[in-house]
Amino acid sequence: MPWRLIEDDGVDAAAGLAADELLAQRLGAGTSPPTLRLYTYRPHSALAGRFQNVDNEINVAQCDAHGIEVNRRPTGGGAILMGPDQLGIALTMRGRGDGQLAKPRTLMQRFSAGIVQGLGMLGITASFRGKNDVEVDGRKIAGLGVYRDPSGGLLYHASLLVDLDVALMAQVLRMPFVDLDDRELAMLATRTTSVRAGLHRAVSVAEVRARMAAGFKSAFAVQLEGGELYSDEKAGVAALVDTKYGTRAWVHQDTTVEDTTGGARTRTASGAIELRVAMAGPTLKAVHVRGDFFAADAAIIDLEARLRWHPGARDKITATITEWAQAHPAESVATDALIDTIEKAVRQASGEPYGCFVTPEQSHA
């Protein structure tokens, strides 16, 4: 069966997200075909992940001041800023009965093949990395998510950075440890890249969209037929906006997961390690690594990327740090001390006494 290809520009947040969920719902029910939707949002939309607390992840006051819509995706992952220079990619496929693609990371890795091949057609070498990112030379160019509808349909989501206004993103998304000064914005920019940055030219969104369509056609060995939403699908989208995506109850629902921060410092023979962590419940949202040790910028950027949205348990941290150290054998950072320092910071964020932190009150002093 050929896939339907839908191309939209300037969609509003509620309708755009409602359309994606509805297509997954109907695909599972057998009333809509597999659909690849390549679209842009009107400037701009700040979209939280399914299980995030909007107020923790998005500066709603700044969004109001800039006329930026705020909403919540049906897919997981972190908050993103979408607009004319970010290509939204939504793919609906059948999910039940395919045990090989059962795990979310496996699902997203399979989905990423279309993006990786599309970028390759543009001349950019990319790869799926970590939990849910597509990266170019260790820098994020796309974030992925997946949603399983009760009907059996799967929705894959991606945001592909054709370009990015880092300063605006830092204003409207609550970026851990970013103070909006030039140095921090420059550091933030080193963690991401875009299609235009990779090609060193002002490539159009239309060209990127065409290559993405070709990439998915090749990666999944399917034919694509241009189309649009059916009339009954449009009615379903409008109903889903009214009952879900256009409601405060959906956008601002309380996830009951508390955000906390902590810090720790350890002196080693190779230099001091200074760490700050941001936590969402027991999960590491972000880790900020500084100190007077010697290490390549790329290695520290890679370390911070590996620890984003990472379990806070010591054994999980140890496994990741060990893999990182094996990937960067030339670095002088003492891995045991690094693991201990992260654990101290995590315990401080959790309000637990550890080592020199005698009580939670003192640890936050």
Q: Which of 177, 147, 116 is nearest to 51 (CA)?
A: 147
Distance separating alpha carbons of residues 65 and 113, to the nearest angstrom: 38
Could you identify the residue written with the tokens 């592909």? 160
- φ/ψ (deg, to 5) at 147: -135, 130
Q: Are residues 336 and 233 in the same domain?
A: no
Mean pLDDT of 75-103: 83
Percent of the chain with pLDDT over 70: 91
User: Above 70 in pLDDT, residue 361?
Assistant: no
Number of domains in the chain: 2
Cβ 345 vs Cβ 288: under 8 Å: no
Q: Are residues 205 and 344 in the same domain?
A: no
Q: What is the pLDDT of residues 324-339, one digit of tens each?
A: 999 998 887 889 999 9
Q: Are residues 80 and 192 in the same domain?
A: yes
pLDDT of residue 216: 98
Mean pLDDT of 262-276: 89
Distance separating alpha carbons of residues 342 and 115, to the nearest angstrom: 34
pLDDT of residue 287: 92
pLDDT of residue 176: 74
Give the HSE-up count for residue 23: Cα atoms under 13 Å, Cβ half-sphere. 25
Mean pLDDT of 192-208: 97
Q: Are residues 220 and 349 in the same domain?
A: no
Q: Are residues 238 and 185 in the same domain?
A: yes
Which structural domain range is residue 336 located in? 259-363
From 251, 273, 290, give the residue that closes a domain.
251
Distance separating alpha carbons of residues 209 and 350, to the nearest angstrom: 44
Q: What is the pLDDT of residues 223-249, one digit of tens each?
A: 999 999 999 999 999 999 999 999 999
Mean pLDDT of 329-355: 82
Q: Which of 219, 245, 234 is nearest to 89 (CA)?
A: 219
Contacts of 346 (CB under 8 A, 6+ apart): 262, 277, 279, 284, 312, 317
Q: What is the pLDDT of residues 286-323, one digit of tens each?
A: 898 988 888 888 888 889 889 988 999 999 999 999 99
User: Above 90 in pLDDT, residue 260?
Assistant: no
CB atoms within 10 A of CB 142: 25
pLDDT of residue 227: 98
pLDDT of residue 312: 93
From 230, 251, 272, give the residue that closes a domain.
251
Q: Are residues 117 and 239 in the same domain?
A: yes
327 or 353: whose pLDDT is higher?
327
Distance separating alpha carbons of residues 109 and 112, to the nearest angstrom: 5
User: Above 50 in pLDDT, residue 99?
Assistant: no
Question: Counting runs of H as helices and runs of E as strands, what totals does the chain give?
Answer: 14, 15
Could you identify the residue written with the tokens 């969004």? 63
User: Above 80 in pLDDT, residue 363?
Assistant: no
pLDDT of residue 181: 65
Instruction: List the CATH number of the domain containing 306.
Output: 3.30.390.50
Cβ 207 vs Cβ 162: under 8 Å: no
What CA–CA distances, in Å, run from 235 to 19, 93, 201, 212? 10, 21, 40, 28
Q: Are residues 58 and 103 in the same domain?
A: yes
pLDDT of residue 336: 93
User: Above 60 in pLDDT, residue 352?
Assistant: no
From 223, 251, 279, give the residue that closes a domain.
251
Q: Are residues 227 and 207 in the same domain?
A: yes
Lowest mean pLDDT, pick from 61-70, 94-103, 182-191, 246-255: 94-103
pLDDT of residue 248: 96
Q: Are residues 233 and 301 in the same domain?
A: no
Distance separating alpha carbons of residues 277 and 307, to the nearest angstrom: 10
Q: What are the E-state strand segments in the chain?
A: 3-11, 35-41, 45-48, 69-72, 80-82, 86-94, 127-129, 133-136, 139-148, 153-161, 224-226, 259-268, 271-280, 283-291, 310-311
Instruction: List the CATH number of the domain containing 160.
Output: 3.30.930.10
pLDDT of residue 362: 31
DSSP secondary-structure letter at 11? E
Q: Are residues 240 and 320 in the same domain?
A: no
Confidence (pTM): 0.81
Distance separating alpha carbons of residues 191 and 287, to the nearest angstrom: 13
Q: Are residues 99 and 129 in the same domain?
A: yes
In the three-class reduction of DSSP (H, G, I as helix; E, B as strand; rest coil), residue 199 is classed as: helix
- Looking at residue 30, its amino acid is G
Across 65-69, 278-282, 294-298, 350-354, which has the greatest mean pLDDT? 65-69
β-pairing, 224-226 vs 3-11, is parallel
Provide the pLDDT confidence category of residue 179 given band limits of 50, 70 and 90.
low
Residue 114 C-alpha from the chain's centroid: 17
Residue 318 C-alpha from the chain's centroid: 23
Q: Are residues 59 and 170 in the same domain?
A: yes
pLDDT of residue 102: 58
pLDDT of residue 75: 94
